[in-house]
Amino acid sequence: MTGERRGREGVRGLRRRAVRGRRLPMVGDRGLSAVGDRRLRAVRVRATVIAVLAVAVAMVVGGTALVLGLRTELSNDVRDAARARAREVARVIEAGHGVPVPRVADPGEEFLQVVTADGTVVAASANVRGRPAFADLRPGGTATVDTPLDEDPFLVVAVGARDGGRELVVLDGRTPAGVAEATATVTRFLLIGLPGVLALAAAATWTAVGRTLGRVARAESAQRRFVSDASHELRTPVATLRQHAEVALAHPDRADTGALAGTVRAEAVRMQRLVDDLLLLARADERAGGGVRRPVDLDDLVLEEVRRLRATATAPAVDSTGVGAARVTGDEEALRRLVRNLGENAARYARGRVAFTLGDGGDGWVRLAVEDDGPGIPPADRERVFDRFVRLDEARVRNKGGGGSGLGLAIVAEVARAHRGTVTVERGVAGAGGAGSGGAGLGGARFVVTLPSEGD
């Protein structure tokens, strides 16, 4: 018996050391988070700068190509119009009607000259009459020349014509001022629009990269948190198993095989539950869980939990008279876990009674309340009770031995949040009506979950 007593004392001592060594939120965790945030922000800035530079280069190259293409196209249009007018004059000459006096529609933007092979002007429009030929071109040629008509150079084309035995050349010159004005307008619009496009590109890239990096950061944070939670929370059951194994090895003749097997089984079940809870919370952290969303009869899940609790040998009296029909849209398994965790929490701390109430208030919200007649939760702890690994050991000591993992209510809060709902805790007033559907209050802790009703 001495060996067994020492073993039990060793186990209790190890458990106490594990509790004392339980991790609290550390500055180092926040420091790592801050470093990660700075690193992701730097990546976001670099990605935005690179995207803006790429868009700027693409717009400059594209804009330059657009302006050059536009200028070429408009210049070709001016050249074609001048050649068409010169051909009209050439056809008149070749028809045997002599050399006509050419006329132009806009003396400031066009001129016509008919010259001989040696450059003598035999006919000209009124705006250049008496002036020498502005260009020495063969038929089919083009040139850009300066004229006294405008400070901008004129584009001149030459078309051949035969007047009897004479070889003549009809010169039609036109100013490309319209080309310059059009290209200048397009260039101006491009320059005005460039900052706006770059700003939009920067905003779009900043937002898109931010969302992507946000998902990466949440996944990374969830991974770090899962590893941290698992490492410190699994320490106690692992230490218990190790201690019992060491005692059995040290005193094999005094070891109680049945007790050892029971301890191993109990701790294995506890570790399995811990791992399941940690995995569920990790999926909630990275927003990867959620399951299939469909209409769920929440009252069926509540009554299922009521039956489960009543079938437990040590269960308190469970009142379900306040449960009414209520339907929500969500993940049925996650909602079942929410109801079960609330039921187990109430049964753990109840002195003798637990009550479930459920109802649809007709205002788009379904309200579920789970109440016990236990010691309740102090107002100062009603926020942090939903944090992970929080146990209110002095205020709510379970009267059936051993504590929970400290994850049950955290899972309730995560599931409610994932379904766009809320969960709060208050002290029930003994003798007062339950939440939503009648029934007497029990005076202990009263958890109220509010979820959107189906279709909202």
Mind listing the pLDDT tens digit for each residue in 41-60? 888 899 899 999 999 999 99
More confident residue, 402 or 277: 277
Q: What percent of the chain has pLDDT over 90?
A: 23
The predicted pLDDT at position 354 comes to 94
pLDDT tens-digit readout, 378-414:
888 888 888 877 766 544 444 444 445 678 898 899 8
- Give phi and psi for 10, each to the nearest 5: -65, -40
The predicted pLDDT at position 369 comes to 95
pLDDT band at 357; cut points 50, 70, 90: very high
The predicted pLDDT at position 209 comes to 86
| pLDDT mean across residues, the chain | 80
Rounded-to-integer distance, Cα 370 and Cα 356, Å: 5
Among 176-180, 231-235, 394-398, where is mean pLDDT lowest? Answer: 394-398
pLDDT band at 437; cut points 50, 70, 90: very low
For the cut 80, the answer to whether the pLDDT of residue 16 exceeds it is no
pLDDT tens-digit readout, 187-221:
888 889 889 989 998 999 998 888 888 877 776 77
Torsion 406-412-417-419 (CA) sign: positive
Rounded-to-integer distance, Cα 191 and Cα 196, Å: 10
The predicted pLDDT at position 251 comes to 80
Rounded-to-integer distance, Cα 19 and Cα 272, Å: 20
Q: Which of 81-85, 325-329, 428-432 has the highest mean pLDDT?
A: 325-329
Q: Output the pTM of the full model.
A: 0.50
pLDDT band at 34; cut points 50, 70, 90: low
Rounded-to-integer distance, Cα 113 and Cα 107, Å: 13
Rounded-to-integer distance, Cα 344 and Cα 427, Å: 18
For the cut 50, the answer to whether the pLDDT of residue 424 exceeds it is yes
For the cut 80, the answer to whether the pLDDT of residue 255 exceeds it is no
Among 101-115, 258-272, 305-319, where is mean pLDDT lowest? Answer: 258-272
For the cut 90, the answer to whether the pLDDT of residue 370 exceeds it is yes
Rounded-to-integer distance, Cα 321 and Cα 236, Å: 40
